[in-house]
Chain A
Amino acid sequence: MNRITAGQLCAMGLTGELFVLFCTEGTISAVTVAGYSIGAGVLLAAAMPLAAFYRRDGRLCRTVQALLLLWLIIWGGMLFSMQWKTSRAIYIPYENSGGSAGKLLVSGLIGLVCLYISSAGIKALGRAAVIAAAVGTLCLLAAAAGAVKSHEWERLSYDSGASLGGEVLRGLKASGGAGAFAVLLGMQRKGYIRSTAVYFSAKAALSAAVLVSALLVTGGIMQTTDFPVVTAAQLSQPFPSQRIDALFLIVFTVYAVFAIALQAAAAAYLMREIFPGFRRFRSLTAIALMIAAAAVLTLL
């Protein structure tokens, strides 16, 4: 069985969470930050029994595995859909000149790379995610350095009119990556409870950091922006005569690939557990189902 470390588990999960944050749509405010943090806390409380279950050498029953598989497919589809929608706001060379065909090609290429990555196995994905997360963090720090110049603290008081309960639900809705976490947690050797605590705490901290940064930069134009985090990245330029949007494109692409590949790899793993005779094309099946789910979700 593939075994992963706590660091790899957190790196895989958090790259996915960051990607979802990048794709955040609609207005955000301090209430959103609080809602996302409370949502992470709720998930932490919900995940603790699972961690304790794994600690007692428990194994998920087939029904739970099947439900998780379904969840991974749907969430993978949602991630594809998010990528499709958000790439409207990001300059991707071929996509912009190629129209719908270009957009399809871009999504197809992402799918293809995800297929390769997920077929390499969770162990390889975990190792790569650690490096990708480190490189991505460096790029984000460069963007954050740019954000320092354009932020204004009074924007923190921006009121979007959303209720805390609604924002908690929004935070939970953006936490589909918890499904993959539930599957991958069982692949650790030890430290289930600690990993769970670290993961959800880091998720809360990351959400707060990203959303607060975005709010500080885009608070003044929140009503006119579709993707506040993307817009914040576009407005955060550390140099007067150069733009570093391309750095955000790199981070967006890498995190999109790792987020989707994680769902596919976890789904392929569950397929093997549920259907032991199903040996080949598991990753391909997972990706195909996710694309189908994405098509349905986009049409809906």
Chain B
Amino acid sequence: MQKRPDEYYPGFSGHTSFGVIFLNEKYKLMPSLEANLVRIGELTGGSSDILINRFIAGGISCALVSCEGMISTALITELVFEPITAIEPKEDAEALFSFIDSYLLLSTDRPQADDLGNVLRLVHSGFAVLLAEGSTNALGFGVQGYASRGVQEPSGEGNIMGAHEGFTETIRVSMSQIRRRLKTPELVMEMMQKGTKSRTDICLCYMKDRVPERLMKQIRASLDKMNAEAVLTTGYLRPFVENGRFEIFSSTGVTERPDVLCSKLIEGRVAVLVDGVPFAIVIPRLFCESFQTLDDYSFKPYYATFLRWLKYLAFIMAVLLPAVYAAIVMYHPELLNSTLFMLLVEAEKNAPLSIMTEALFVLMMYEVIREAGVRLPKPVGGAVSIISGLIIGDAAVNSGLVSTPLLTMTALAVLGGLVVPELNPEVTVLRFAFLIAGGLMGLFGISLLACAVLVNICATEDYGFPYTAPLSPFKRRGMGDTAFRSGMRKMQERGFTVEEYHE
């Protein structure tokens, strides 16, 4: 059964500037092969990656249009050229297309197009498109063969007990990774295209028996309203599916693990895959989820609970430790016992800078080193980190620029931030903000800022799902995977869906 391109790409509505031009009547395919090829040449500006192979098939002049690098040459030669050129003579182009489509079955994907817009879209998506003299239709063959990275272990979201494969840049591979784990007809994957220039394939994934109907409608509406030129990373798409208010934490999450995504889909969430990006967007996202890893569900509940509280503690430490240290040492030393107080006095008395300045300096140095390590080529990046960490850190302490306790506190805070990598950007900025508040006004400043941050987190809400659920609004049933981790049998029996948290 053939499908029209619009059926392959339901999101393609002809509303993009590109689509509007080509859906115009004057860009319909004409019976003259030569005229069609000339117009393709004009429209593509003679782009050198557009390949046009002319040949005779069934006694009719034909041309196969494709895009270099997007197709598999071997596939085209073996599965298209060889059988197609051996076809017996046919009376006209339509008979030829009918024969190819019904008898030869050259590829599984065989979309048809009757205008140049769709022809070029197919070509740019890795299809080889057959045009024939006398036909106002074109027949596409799915022979994609572009170079892509294979399935590899995710660079982040590491785990010990779970699968070691992550999403890839090829959306179809990512879709297959999900399908392999959820072999149920309830899993629906809707393809669409976004970006007036990039025309990026995106895929909306959900479990139709779990996802709240209202959530689906709202997400579709958000995507329909989306007006972007290109979707090159998840960051191009996320603002369009989040509410526009200033939120410190993002109410949509990302994951590069198919197993994690499947668990989210089962909970009734919606995922968006973007072609060219090995991450999936998860909607909605809750704050407590940042502390959950797949390993939590592999270990015994008591150990998983311990790990979870360790992560909560690490998060608080990552945000507040330098600020609380500066506040206590500068303004509230009465909180310390005499031994600790004397130890800190001894360490800080020779430091030439104020504690807040020292802490800011150390944190800034760390961020510079981290950024350099990330951007540089891997072998050099590693060396930079080691040299900076050992040499600069050691030199700073020995020269008396920075005190050892302060360096210890900031290092602990940084380490704490790495325990919850997903929140690292937020933690980094908040750490600086709290440090300045604590350094200027002590615990009073920290308390004030904490109130503002807390309210900002509590105000974060998308599609009626509060980011802070199940803590506030409090949902007792949700505590089984938040305050502690219940047994797997109990969790499976519960049949949780995110709808429980909707307000």
Contacts and interface: CB of A to CB of B under 8 A. Distances in A.
B443 A8 contact: no
Interface stretch (B43-51, B335-343, B491-499): B335-343
Contacts of A110: 448
Contacts, number: 107
Given A5-B473, A131-B471, A242-B336, A249 B444 contact: yes
Interface in B432-464: 440-448, 450-452, 454-459, 461
Contacts of A253: 443-444, 447-448, 451
B337 A106 contact: no
Nearest to B456: A120
A125 B447 CA distance: 16
Contact of B338 (A5, A95, A241, A250): A241
A170 interface: no
A80 interface: no
A242 B466 contact: no
Interface string B280-312: 000000000000000000000000000000000
B441 to A, nearest CB: 5
Interface string A116-131: 1100110111011011
A239 B444 CA distance: 22
Contact of A120 (B332, B444, B450, B455): B455
Interface of A, helix, strand, loop or mixed by DSSP: helix
Contacts of A92: 441-442, 444
Contacts of A215: none
A109 B448 contact: yes
Interface in A203-242: 239, 241-242
Contacts of A130: 472-474
Given A127-B473, A131-B472, A249-B447, A116 B458 contact: no
Interface-central residue, A106, A246, A258, by most chain B CB under 10 Å: A246
B472 A113 contact: no
Nearest to B438: A93
A23 to B, nearest CB: 16
A246 B447 CA distance: 11
Interface-central residue, A93, A121, A243, A245, by most chain B CB under 10 Å: A93
Interface of B: 328, 330-332, 334-338, 440-448, 450-452, 454-459, 461, 466, 468, 471-474, 503
Given A132-B454, A244-B335, A257-B451, 10 more contacts: A3-B503, A94-B440, A109-B445, A124-B455, A127-B468, A128-B458, A130-B473, A131-B472, A241-B338, A254-B451
Interface of A: 3, 5, 7-8, 92-95, 106, 109-110, 113, 116-117, 120-121, 123-125, 127-128, 130-132, 239, 241-246, 249-250, 253-254, 257-258
